């Protein structure tokens, strides 16, 4: 699982810098939730190019 996340992170950084063509916009979303059962942390990373968005939730 860690290898997959690292690969996706490297791919997002590489495509965001424009090394393989036109740059795309990276995004990062993070959330923190509190409830009676405890604290919940979540997030997502993604890239957008035109009408296409690729996002991976963590």
pLDDT the model gives residue 17:
64
Question: Where do we find the tokens 């036109």?
Answer: 22
Rg (CA), the chain: 14
Largest CA distance in the chain: 48
pLDDT the model gives residue 50:
74
Residues of the chain falling short of pLDDT 50:
none
3-class SS at 38? Answer: strand
pLDDT the model gives residue 44:
86
Is beta strand 38-49 parallel, antiparallel or unpaired with respect to 25-35?
antiparallel
Alpha carbons 24 and 53: distance in angstroms, whole number: 10
Alpha carbons 12 and 26: distance in angstroms, whole number: 7
């Amino acid at each position: 699982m860690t290898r997959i996340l690292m690969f996706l992170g490297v791919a997002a950084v590489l495509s965001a810098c424009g090394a393989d063509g036109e740059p795309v916009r990276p995004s990062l979303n993070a959330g923190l939730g509190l409830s009676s059962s405890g604290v919940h942390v979540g997030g997502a990373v993604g890239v957008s190019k035109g009408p296409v968005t690729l996002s991976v939730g963590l």
